[in-house]
């Protein structure tokens, strides 16, 4: 750095520390003393300087980190973040192909686009979540244990960042916060510290959804985040033996709104609509389980009005799901020519549509079977219920007519842990089943 004296006097007067009369071309003080006045040119000298980034000047006067190095560091950082975003895209493409491609062209912003839109300088909770999942995917792909182990360290940092976002009233309702929570929960599902450790995240995500409100998830990023995690929310409610908040009217209305909007925007399809309506009915099943267990723990003839009302709801729900199942079977029939399917599949790719239909049908089958068991637990296998003829004509399947349910704890076998393999080994299939694969009891469902 160049230092310049503040006084305008000659150098001799400055050194003597006396006031210079600044006479031109030489000062009178120097003339009186018989000295040659050096004039008024300002001398310059260099001082040692430490910049704001901490780089020191070398003896040659150049900084240790010159501007090219600074630009290089920024370029390296940008390239690193870009690679992390692409690795996350590979993770989604490999781990959730059905869920992603079934909805990617139907939502306003898909998850990969959402991550790519983040600022390259951002290393917050959302980008850490994307980085963790991308690194986990690459570690498993190349069998690199060091990469897999590094995810746990990044996960701890991600949790700290997420906690800060949740504590801040200005960020607790943001898409960034909810997106980060979803990504960290998915990591916990795939490589968790315990068999059901993901439930802790799920409970927190449920609280975030409810705190943001249903309207925040009817469109945009909020709608995409709801679709990404809603199957796990249903499974969480079944495991905890609690009603699912997605069954509340304001949340169920989102499904009807989204179906209507997709139709208006030309993104709708018969297959997509049927699956949305199926999920619409599946959300109420956890609540039906809770109510059935509550009644099953009481005397057989206790409060018959409540029992009849519950029985009617169970049978109506089963009837709706049976009808939706039949329509899905018809749509996925191989007798329909591919050229006749644009209105059936819409923007959903054909190979993904087949996967989506298969596991959605599997989820409906599991939900219907559970409803059969709930009906039998109330009525001991005999449907003595007043109501419409169509409801009375629905009979439980033969498999469950031969099964006596003596206690509420036997209704959902292996629910608290036996089906965990279905989640972390095939999370995409689990999501496409609308969370109903939690009822599989650990069995593997294979594609035909």
Convert 26-62 into a string of H (helix), E (strand) and C (coil): CCHHHHHCCCCCCCCCCCCEECCCECCCCCEECCCCC
pLDDT for 351 equals: 84
* Mean of pLDDT values over 92-116: 95
What does the block give as tokens for 210? Answer: 């409810």
What gap in Å lies between CA 9 and CA 20, rounded to an integer? Answer: 5
Please report which confidence band the pLDDT of residue 123 belongs to, taking 50, 70 and 90 as the band edges. Answer: low
Closest CA to 185 of 158, 153, 224: 158
pLDDT for 194 equals: 74
What gap in Å lies between CA 178 and CA 65, rounded to an integer? Answer: 39
Tens of pLDDT, residue by residue over 7-32, are 678 888 888 888 888 887 788 888 88
Going 375 to 377 to 381 to 386, the CA torsion angle's sign is negative
What gap in Å lies between CA 283 and CA 278, rounded to an integer? Answer: 9
Q: Give the C-alpha distances (Å, rounded to integers) separating 43 from 36, 105, 245, 255.
A: 17, 70, 78, 78
Closest CA to 184 of 171, 170, 202, 166: 202
Q: Is the pLDDT of residue 138 over 50?
A: yes
What does the block give as tokens for 335? Answer: 């007798």
pLDDT for 296 equals: 66
* Mean of pLDDT values over 105-120: 90
Q: What is the DSSP secondary-structure string of 147-177?
A: HHHHHHHHHHHHHHHHHHHHH-TTTTTSHHH
For the chain, percent of residues with pLDDT exceeding 90? 53
Q: Are 364 and 372 in contact (CB under 8 A)?
A: no
pLDDT for 380 equals: 62
More confident residue, 50 or 82: 82
Tens of pLDDT, residue by residue over 344-380, are 888 898 889 889 999 999 999 999 999 999 998 887 6
**DSSP character at residue 445:** P
Measured from the Cβ of residue 1, the count of other Cβ atoms closer than 10 Å reads 9
Q: Is the pLDDT of residue 53 over 50?
A: no
Distance of CA 248 to the CA centre of its chain: 21
What does the block give as tokens for 17? Answer: 């520390």
pLDDT for 343 equals: 72
Going 6 to 10 to 11 to 13, the CA torsion angle's sign is negative
What gap in Å lies between CA 276 and CA 259, rounded to an integer? Answer: 8
What gap in Å lies between CA 4 and CA 73, rounded to an integer? Answer: 34
What gap in Å lies between CA 3 and CA 48, rounded to an integer? Answer: 11
Tens of pLDDT, residue by residue over 223-268, are 999 999 999 999 999 999 999 999 999 999 999 999 999 989 889 8
What gap in Å lies between CA 269 and CA 253, rounded to an integer? Answer: 19
Q: 3-state DSSP call for residue 382?
A: coil
pLDDT for 383 equals: 35
What does the block give as tokens for 180? Answer: 């980060």
* Mean of pLDDT values over 258-284: 93
pLDDT for 341 equals: 62
Hunting for tokens 């059936």 — which residue is that? 344
What gap in Å lies between CA 368 and CA 374, rounded to an integer? Answer: 10
Q: Is the pLDDT of residue 307 over 90?
A: no
What does the block give as tokens for 137? Answer: 């995917």
Helix (H) or strand (E) holding 3, with range, is: strand 2-3
pTM over 0.85: no
Q: Is the pLDDT of residue 188 over 70?
A: yes
What does the block give as tokens for 79? Answer: 């390239």
Please report which confidence band the pLDDT of residue 337 belongs to, taking 50, 70 and 90 as the band edges. Answer: low
What gap in Å lies between CA 188 and CA 195, rounded to an integer? Answer: 9
Of 183-192, 306-315, 379-388, minimum mean pLDDT range: 379-388
What gap in Å lies between CA 426 and CA 294, rounded to an integer? Answer: 33
Measured from the Cβ of residue 319, the count of other Cβ atoms closer than 10 Å reads 18
Tens of pLDDT, residue by residue over 368-418, are 999 999 998 887 643 333 333 333 233 333 443 333 233 333 444 334 344
- What lies within 8 Å, CB to CB, of 215 at 6+ separation is 250
For the chain, percent of residues with pLDDT exceeding 70? 74
Q: Is the pLDDT of residue 181 over 50?
A: yes
pLDDT for 441 equals: 59
Of 35-39, 46-50, 121-125, 307-311, minimum mean pLDDT range: 46-50
pLDDT for 106 equals: 93
Hunting for tokens 């169920």 — which residue is that? 252
- What lies within 8 Å, CB to CB, of 375 at 6+ separation is 311, 314, 315, 318, 383, 396
What does the block give as tokens for 9? Answer: 């006097």
Q: Is the pLDDT of residue 309 over 60?
A: yes
Tens of pLDDT, residue by residue over 191-218, are 987 777 899 999 999 999 999 999 999 9
pLDDT for 281 equals: 96
Of 9-18, 69-78, 243-252, 330-339, minimum mean pLDDT range: 69-78
What does the block give as tokens for 402? Answer: 């031969």
Q: Is the pLDDT of residue 129 over 80?
A: yes
- What lies within 8 Å, CB to CB, of 293 at 6+ separation is 241, 408, 411
Distance of CA 118 to the CA centre of its chain: 15
Q: Are 202 and 242 in contact (CB under 8 A)?
A: no
């Amino acid at each position: 750095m160049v230092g310049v004296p503040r006084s305008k006097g000659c150098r001799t007067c400055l050194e003597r520390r006396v006031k210079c009369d600044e006479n031109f071309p030489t000062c009178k003080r120097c003339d009186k003393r018989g000295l040659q006045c050096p004039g008024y040119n300002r001398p310059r000298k260099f001082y040692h300087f430490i910049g704001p980034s901490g780089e020191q000047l070398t003896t040659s006067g150049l900084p240790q980190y010159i501007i090219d190095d600074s630009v290089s560091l920024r370029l390296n950082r940008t390239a690193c973040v870009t690679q992390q975003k692409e690795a996350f895209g590979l993770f989604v493409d490999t781990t959730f192909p059905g869920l992603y491609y079934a909805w990617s062209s139907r939502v306003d912003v898909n998850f990969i686009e959402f991550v790519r839109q983040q600022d390259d300088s951002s290393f917050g909770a959302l980008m850490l979540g994307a980085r963790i999942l991308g690194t986990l995917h690459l570690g498993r792909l190349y069998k690199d244990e060091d990469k897999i182990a590094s995810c746990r360290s990044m996960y701890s940092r991600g949790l700290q960042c997420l906690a800060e976002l949740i504590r801040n009233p200005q960020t607790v309702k943001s898409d960034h916060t909810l997106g980060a929570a979803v990504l960290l929960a998915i990591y916990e599902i795939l490589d968790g510290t315990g068999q059901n450790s993901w439930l802790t995240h799920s409970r927190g995500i449920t609280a975030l959804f409810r705190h943001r409100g249903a309207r925040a998830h009817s469109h945009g990023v909020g709608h995409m985040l709801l679709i990404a995690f809603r199957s796990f929310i249903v499974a969480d409610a079944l495991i905890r033996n609690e009603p699912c908040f997605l069954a509340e009217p304001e949340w169920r209305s989102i499904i009807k709104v989204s179906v209507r909007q997709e139709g208006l925007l030309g993104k709708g399809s018969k297959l997509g609509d049927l699956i949305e309506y199926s999920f619409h009915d599946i959300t109420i099943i956890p609540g039906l389980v809770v109510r059935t267990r509550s009644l099953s723990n009481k005397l057989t003839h206790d409060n018959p009005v409540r029992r009849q009302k519950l029985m009617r709801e169970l049978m109506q729900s089963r009837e709706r799901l049976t009808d939706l199942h039949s329509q899905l079977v018809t749509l996925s029939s191989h007798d329909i020519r591919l050229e006749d399917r644009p209105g059936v599949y819409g923007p959903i790719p054909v190979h993904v549509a087949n996967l989506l239909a298969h596991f959605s049908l599997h989820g409906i089958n599991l939900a219907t079977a559970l409803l059969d068991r709930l009906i039998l637990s109330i009525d001991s296998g005999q449907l003595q219920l007043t109501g419409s003829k169509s409801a009375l004509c629905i009979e439980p399947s033969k498999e469950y007519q031969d099964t006596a349910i003596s206690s509420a704890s036997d209704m959902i076998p292996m629910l608290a842990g036996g089906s965990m393999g279905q989640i972390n080994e095939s999370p995409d299939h689990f999501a496409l089943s609308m969370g109903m694969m939690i009822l599989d009891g650990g069995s593997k469902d294979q594609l035909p």
